[in-house]
Amino acid sequence: MQSFDTLSAAFAARFDHRHFPTDPSTLYDPAHYFLGLGGKRIRPVLCLMGNELFGPIEADAWQLATAIELFHNFTLIHDDIMDRAPLRRGKPTVHDKYGSSTAILTGDVMMVVAYEYIAKIASPHIRRILHLFNQTAAEVCEGQQLDMDFEAREEVTMEEYLHMIGLKTSVLLAASLQLGSILGGAGLGNQDKIYQFGKNLGLAFQIQDDYLDCYGDADKFGKKVGGDIVANKKTFLLIKTLEVATDIQRQQIKELTTASPDEKIAGMLQLFHDCGVDAWVRELKDKYREAAVQSLEDIAVLSVRKEPLRELIDLLLQREY
């Protein structure tokens, strides 16, 4: 069994080449450009780890991992258009550099190339794999749509927000693990457990992400603290606060929306603390982390095989705060 870092390096060595034809360059160069911006390649590595938990990594797993990473990048290209984001990993987004129409088409063709890697899979489980891939892809679209819907709404319940975050970010992590496990020969029960492991791990990671935006070490975290607050973004902290706040506190939140960025950050952090939401969010993260640990332990394989996935939990969720 190999660690996340070892598999990550192995995947990068295979993935970092051109996945597209030369012509028309106006379509395919933007696709190649976007992949060149890099990324942590977490999802394809999860696919490889999901395979290796149950057996030696199959040749098919590299094709499937590539399909997953291309699909993920397709969603990023289209999300960037919808979010009007000018930058991705510090570089111009596809629509910013090449225009929205090309960005739409570049995303489209990247999705098609993702499916072409699936067509290369020799496994007799190809239909099951294609079905889980499709189901997950649809859920990711649903999550992005709900995210946009929620932005336009005044209040969103914690249940709704968890559902949206689960679709938008966690199901692809979960499915990546399960897809790999199918190739590794996992039975349905184990497949379900590794999926739940990934889903819970993903939710814990997202909760942590929202938390670190407010309480992270700016130097280690790599971005300015309070960015979500300034952008009026709905987060686990804001939604919980709106749930428990008194009328006076709700009035304060309303007033803070027009305050200066620094006042807004200071005011909201004070409110989060007054409402006990900082501690509540840490507990929520721990709850999902524990659920992930439990799902992993429930998988019926030798405990030693699970070591790389245990390390992964620490790698993703041991960020300091």
Q: Which of 1, 3, 10, 145 binds its own copies (CB under 8 A)?
A: 145
| Residue closest to 4 by CA, chosen among 35, 66, 49 | 49
For residues 101 and 232, which CB has a smaller minimum distance to its own copies in the complex? 101
Q: Which of 61, 65, 113, 186 binds its own copies (CB under 8 A)?
A: 113
N- to C-terminal Cα distance for the chain?
Answer: 31
Write the CA distances from 6 to 45, 129, 201, integer angstroms: 10, 25, 20
Q: Are the beta carbons of 163 and 254 closer than 8 angstroms?
A: no
| Residue closest to 195 by CA, chosen among 112, 139, 121 | 139
For residues 127 and 254, which CB has a smaller minimum distance to its own copies in the complex? 127
Taking the C-alpha atoms of residue 295 and residue 196, their distance in angstroms, rounded to an integer, is: 6
For residues 27 and 225, which CB has a smaller minimum distance to its own copies in the complex? 27
Q: Which of 64, 65, 68, 146 binds its own copies (CB under 8 A)?
A: 146
Q: Which of 10, 96, 142, 306 binds its own copies (CB under 8 A)?
A: 142
Residue numbers 81-110 binding its own copies by CB under 8 A: 81-82, 100-102, 104-105, 107-109
Does the footprint of its own copies cover residue 112 (CB under 8 A)? yes
Does the footprint of its own copies cover residue 119 (CB under 8 A)? yes
Does the footprint of its own copies cover residue 144 (CB under 8 A)? yes
**CB 101, min distance to its own copies, A:** 4
For residues 99 and 267, which CB has a smaller minimum distance to its own copies in the complex? 99
Query: Counting every residue, how long is the chain?
Result: 321
Taking the C-alpha atoms of residue 266 and residue 256, their distance in angstroms, rounded to an integer, is: 10
C-alpha dihedral sign at 147, 153, 158, 163: negative
**CB 204, min distance to its own copies, A:** 24
Does the footprint of its own copies cover residue 111 (CB under 8 A)? yes
**CB 111, min distance to its own copies, A:** 7
Taking the C-alpha atoms of residue 201 and residue 163, their distance in angstroms, rounded to an integer, is: 14
The verdict on whether omega for the bond into residue 261 sits within 30 degrees of 0, i.e. cis, is no
DSSP state at residue 110: H
Taking the C-alpha atoms of residue 180 and residue 112, their distance in angstroms, rounded to an integer, is: 20
Name the site residues for its own copies (rule: CB under 8 A).
23-24, 26-27, 78, 81-82, 100-102, 104-105, 107-109, 111-113, 115-116, 118-121, 126-127, 130-131, 134-135, 137-138, 141-142, 144-146, 148-149
